[in-house]
Amino acid sequence: MAWDLRINGGMVFDGSGRPAYRADIAIREGRIVAMGRLQGAARHTIDADGAVVTPGFIDIHSHYDGQATWDRNLAPSSNHGVTTTAMGSCGVGFAPVRPTDHDRLIALMEGVEDIPGAALAEGLPWGWESFSEYMDVVDQLPHTMDLCAHVPHDALRVYVMGERAVADQPATDADRAEMARLLDAALTAGAVGFSTGRSDNHRNNDGQPTPASEANEAELTTLAAVVGQHTHGVIQGVSDFNIADGPEPFDREFDVYEAMARAAGGHPMSVSLIQRVRDPGQWERVVERIEQAHAAGLPMRMQVAPRPIGVLLGLSATFHPFIGHPTYKKVAHLPLSEQVAHLRRPEVRAQLLQERPDKLAGDGSSVPPLVDALLERIHEAAFLMFPLVDPPVYEPSANDSLAMRAMMSGSGALAALLDALLEDDGEALIYFALFNYMGMNLDVVRQMLTHPLALSGLSDGGAHVGTVCDASFPTTLLSWWGRDRPQGRLPLPWLVRKLTAEPARFLGLHDRGRLAPGLRADLNVLDFDQLRLKRPTLHSDLPAGGKRFLQAADGYLATVVRGSVTLRDNQLTGSCPGRVVRSFGAPRPTLSVP
């Protein structure tokens, strides 16, 4: 019988971490059926001579919860080799939900993940209440990749507690029991796990804390114990760990996560690992506590980004440092060309540079207080601001910073920033390396990445659409760390494993993440020498005309999902074989609720 697809002559990095080897790969009915030197006939072939062949990349941290209900393509992740993504991260999502709470969950997603509320209001079809029904609706629309979904704590809490979910009230025994029942039903229906968010930087669009951040240890361990009653399921969380408040509050907060891991009875758990501006050494304390937990038999892991976690500043982006200035606010509604012409006038420029901006954070705003604090210290923050060139450089030197540009020109940091934003007729972008860049290099990130308990994550695909485009993380991991970094490069077989077999095993997806006969035919064919990112560009293609950053890449010869070619020569083909992945682990006989 003819094969459906044969990939010929590639250097295969099979996801195991072992050295590459040359092989053909034969695919039939969505699975790999043979590897080696093959002679059989195939309906379609891909010439991979001189190319690298890898398993499809698996993204364990995305926010496509809304976008997946209206968008088949799931860009930008689909442009960067991702064939499976886990959404519902950080406790935010859209199920379970009562019809009366639609707007409340939109406000949460808009505030926490910078997805325009108007786009969500117009794009979301709703038509579900339970989490199982939500997965059914998402599965009705074919996608470029497979999706699995965490049950988000915020939605769960709002469904059960209503207004009390954000009224600084603890959940009652009845509340906890009902949340446990709903989570159990969702996991039984195939949810991949449970997520929660405890970051003070996460707010709804009115500046209120998220519902999950109000939860106490009793509630969190109750829900973790539900995960422990199933034969599948992971837990994902994010926390500031009480930034800069000292060791005692840090340990108290980490104790909560450790209690959740203990209650989950051996199920994997991950937390975000970030070097923070206000406490640059905190990440090392997180690592130390995770090592201690792991030594005690708790499978805790840390999600790590391969580059600075930053934001894109621009006159057309969601945010730039002049957005709170009264002079700018007078012209903010104008088309970009008119804004630029106005801001270039000497008298307008002088007024803009001497006035104090209005506060952006506080009541009624989802902007975290950190932003105001940095803007008040703009001369220091400018050392972490860099003009974003094409192709982008995510490990720029101090000499490339706007602070250095200001020093060389004799102008102030704010003036240098304004000049940079007005370049390219106002289309210029500034890369603000908020986290992971205190040493003006990625040496700390290398330490994080190479830790044996680290997971490649935090891409936030589908989120922060007007401020970041970190769904391109896989391309950075391979091209920068595997080829371009002047020193401290990492072995390509190891990097491929970080993007494939490791996240697959963590999520419990045993049919993918490696290239071997019998496994899913999810894979990438790469021209590794040409693999590189392009500068992000803004597109007004969300519902209601919402804007988002997309980032293209070169070097992706093909992406294959379930045996179907979804991307060819860096362009999507229109094929959408992706479906919702349901983790049907059987629940244990009894469900105990602490």
Task: Please report the pLDDT score of residue 589 as a whole number.
Answer: 36
User: Which residues in the chain come in under a pLDDT of 50?
Assistant: 586-594
Task: Please report the pLDDT score of residue 271 as a whole number.
Answer: 98
159/99 Cα distance (integer angstroms): 10
Question: Could you report the per-residue pLDDT of 288-306, keeping only the tens digit for each?
Answer: 999 999 999 999 999 999 9
Q: Which of 558, 203, 540 is nearest to 362 (CA)?
A: 203
Task: Please give the structure tokens belonging to residue 111.
Answer: 């505030």
Task: Please report the pLDDT score of residue 362 as a whole number.
Answer: 59
Helix H or strand E encompassing 196: strand 193-198
559/550 Cα distance (integer angstroms): 18
| Share of the chain residues as helix, strand and coil, in percent rounded to the nearest 5 | 35, 20, 40
Task: Please give the structure tokens belonging to residue 236.
Answer: 């994902």
Task: Please report the pLDDT score of residue 83 as a whole number.
Answer: 98
Task: Please report the pLDDT score of residue 208 as a whole number.
Answer: 77
Contact status, residue 303 vs residue 452, Cβ threshold 8 Å:
no
Of the chain, the end-to-end C-alpha distance in Å amounts to: 56
**What are the residue ranges of helices labelled H in 311-434?**
326-329, 336-343, 346-354, 369-376, 378-381, 402-409, 413-422
C-alpha distances in Å from residue 40, one per residue of 2, 25, 33, 44, 115:
7, 11, 12, 12, 48
User: Domain coordinates of the chain in residue numbers?
Assistant: 1-55+488-532+553-573, 89-140+152-307, 311-435
Give the architecture-level CATH label for domain 1-55+488-532+553-573. Answer: Roll (2.30)
Task: Please give the structure tokens belonging to residue 242.
Answer: 């009480």
Task: Please report the pLDDT score of residue 205 as a whole number.
Answer: 61
544/118 Cα distance (integer angstroms): 6
95/88 Cα distance (integer angstroms): 9
Cis peptide before 474 (omega within 30 of 0): no
**What are the residue ranges of helices labelled H in 77-125?**
102-113, 117-123
Same fold, 1-55+488-532+553-573 and 89-140+152-307: no
Task: Please report the pLDDT score of residue 248 as a whole number.
Answer: 81
Task: Please report the pLDDT score of residue 588 as a whole number.
Answer: 42
Question: Which distant-in-sequence residues (6+ apart) come within 8 Å of 424 by Cβ?
Answer: none
DSSP state of 230: B
Task: Please report the pLDDT score of residue 594 as a whole number.
Answer: 27
Task: Please report the pLDDT score of residue 365 as a whole number.
Answer: 54
Helix H or strand E encompassing 304: strand 300-304
pTM > 0.75: yes or no:
yes
C-alpha distances in Å from residue 531, one per residue of 160, 394, 472:
48, 15, 12
Contact status, residue 241 vs residue 276, Cβ threshold 8 Å:
no
**Protein fold of 89-140+152-307:** TIM Barrel (3.20.20)
Contact status, residue 91 vs residue 196, Cβ threshold 8 Å:
yes
Task: Please report the pLDDT score of residue 275 as a whole number.
Answer: 96
Task: Please report the pLDDT score of residue 114 as a whole number.
Answer: 86
Question: Could you report the per-residue pLDDT of 521-580, keeping only the tens digit for each?
Answer: 999 999 999 999 999 999 999 999 999 999 999 999 999 999 999 999 999 999 999 999
